[in-house]
A and B are shown apart, each in its own frame.
Chain A
Amino acid sequence: ETGVTQSPTHLIKTRGQQVTLRCSSQSGHNTVSWYQQALGQGPQFIFQYYREEENGRGNFPPRFSGLQFPNYSSELNVNALELDDSALYLCASSPQGWQDYGYTFGSGTRLTVV
C-alpha cells in the first residue's frame, strides 16, 4: 500500500488566479473525496468522485471543480481564487462502501492566496 499522496505540499497564488491540486489515491481505492480545512476548523466536504463521476457535493461554489481519472487519481481545480480559499486541502480515498476507518487521508496541500 502506498497511501494517499498529494502534490504540491505548499502553494502560493494570487487572488483571481486558478489552481490545480493533485491526488494519487491508495491502491485499490475507487472513491476519492476532497475536503477543505480552514485554520482552526475541521475539514469541510467539497465533493466526492466514484469511478470518474461526481458523487455528491458540499456547499462550495461551482468555481470548485474536480476530475477523477481511470487510474483513480484525482484533481481539484479552483478558479478565480479568493483570499478565503486559503486553507489546507485534503484528499481522501476509500474502496466503495463503508469502511470502519472511513477514509485514508493524504497530508494535504497548503494553499495560500495573497
Chain B
Amino acid sequence: DQQVKQNSPSLSVQEGRISILNCDYTNSMFDYFLWYKKYPAEGPTFLISISSIKDKNEDGRFTVFLNKSAKHLSLHIVPSQPGDSAVYFCAASLRSNDYKLSFGAGTTVTVRA
C-alpha cells in the first residue's frame, strides 16, 4: 500500500532555473511531511519539512508547499545549482504512529550547466 507517491521518476532542469518536485499522499491523517536528498553511496539527508498545520515553509533556496485538500505537496528549488543533482524523496509521518516515515519512490533531479 503506497501511501506516498512521486509520479515523476526524473526531472532535468537548467542551472539557475526553478526545479519543482511533486508528491501526492493518500492518508489524510499525516502530521508532518519531509523532503530528503540522497547522493549515491550516501544515506538520505534532511532538506526541509512542513507541519500539516502550515501550507508553506521556506529555507533559503528551498520552499515546500502543502495543499491538504488535494493531498499534495511540492518542493521548489530556486535557483537550481549543479550540486542539487540528486535523488529527492518525499516522506510523511504520523504522530500517532511515533513518526515512522512513509517514503515516495523518489525523483532524480539533474541540473544541467
Which residue numbers of A lie inside 8 Å of B, CB to CB?
A: 4, 33, 35, 40-45, 48, 50, 55-56, 58, 90, 92, 94, 97-98, 100-108
| Total count of chain B residues near the partner, CB < 8 A | 27
Which residue numbers of B lie inside 8 Å of A, CB to CB?
A: 4, 6, 31-32, 34, 36, 41-46, 49, 89, 91, 93, 95, 97-106
Contact: A43 with B99, CB < 8 Å? no
Q: Which of A44, A90, A98 lies in contact with B99, CB distance below 8 A?
A: A98
Given A98-B32, A98-B95, A102-B93: A45 in contact with B101 (beta carbons within 8 A): yes
Given A42-B4, A43-B89: A102 in contact with B43 (beta carbons within 8 A): no
Contact: A106 with B43, CB < 8 Å? yes
Contact: A101 with B46, CB < 8 Å? yes
Residue of B43, B49, B93, B95 ringed by the most chain A CB atoms within 10 A: B43
